[in-house]
Amino acid sequence: IIQSQEAWSPAGTGRHFPAGALLSVDLAQLKANPGHLEPTLIYAPERRQALQGAAASKDMLLVSILDNVRGRILLFHPDRNGGWTRSSLELPDNSTISVSDTSRTDNRAILAVTSFLSPPSLWLADASSRHAEQIMQQPPKFDASNLVAEQREAVSSDGTKIPYFLVHRSDIKLDGSNPTLLYAYGGFEVSQTPSYSPATGKLWLENGGVYALANIRGGGEFGPAWHEAGLSTRRQIVYDDFTAVAKDLIASKVTSPRRLGIRGGSNGGLLMGVEFTQHPELWHAVVIDVPLLDMIRISKIAAGASWEGEYGSVEDPAVRAFWEKTSPYQNLRANIQYPVPFIFTTTKDDRVGPQHARKFAARMEEMGLPFLYYENIEGGHAAGANLRQTARTNALELTYLTRKLMDAQEPPVK
């Protein structure tokens, strides 16, 4: 079984396979002639689909895909003509679904299913009968009885439709007054799919907040091309996608700039820094977690040199010119009215390094700009070294968001 990361035309076959396709080859033929491959197509993603993985049972393949960022399980059975017969399983919508394990003695499998409003669960599926049933589920951590999850689309600067999920109370009033938290990542072909967050549910959604998850380019939601669209000097489109989602939330009266906050970490922290400097008028709260912020010196800090494939190298004049006008650290201005950000890093972050957050905060201090800064002395490239530290970080950030967007009592920022 082969997955094509790029479009592929095997020599001598006259056939062409798109990027993100799933293929099979005859093992006996491959061993006999390793230099000549004659693949058979199992699955080719449609325009708004992406292959996530494949697992074999006794004589079937269970293929997990994203279909417009919704999890699906497709079933494939080899036929007598050397091809594959396709069917599917009926499973919950607006969910993230993966194959946890398969049987080699029959066609049963264990599936993991989760969503914004349903705790993680395990399902027993029989691929032969195309039947699946839930067998186990974690207890709920927040009250989701009056909450709904929906999917919407915004239109980016180049006309591309950008999907996003919206989680909110069923009786929401579209008057621009709803405290809204927008999250995204936008890099490294990492897909942002529905997931169950007890902290967000308990501390944000239960208190009337709205949560939005943007599926911007740079991720893998629609396969390799969705990721490649935002590489290196093309990365401004990633930031435009995020801005488009924010403006759609405002235009549809879900929220307003006074009630809109954003949050992201690591590469998503870079996203937050860019949005903070490019569009300070759109946000009233910005959480910048374990971020990349100085993209001119990224290769000199921690593991930054290993990400040239994603961000490009500043040794290339075109790349340097792009980041000089885009990098958050280089584009802070003293005469701009920014929202007060919450900047979080850890002393022992050996992936991104704390230098980015420290430099950004120091530059803001030099300019007389207010900010909140918290550095955990443990934890690496994460919210904490253990559950207690992670809970503390979540509490700090969600308290900040509540004070900024829900008009809770807010102490002065020094």
Active-site positions? 266, 381
| Helices 267-278 & 236-251 angle (0-180, nearest 10) | 60
Rg for the chain, CA atoms, rounded: 23
Give 2's strand partners. 23
> CA 345 to CA 342: how far, in whole Å?
10
> CA 348 to CA 360: how far, in whole Å?
18
Output phi, psi for 137, to 5 deg: -150, 140
CA torsion through residues 308, 310, 313, 314, sign: negative
Output phi, psi for 218, to 5 deg: 100, -30
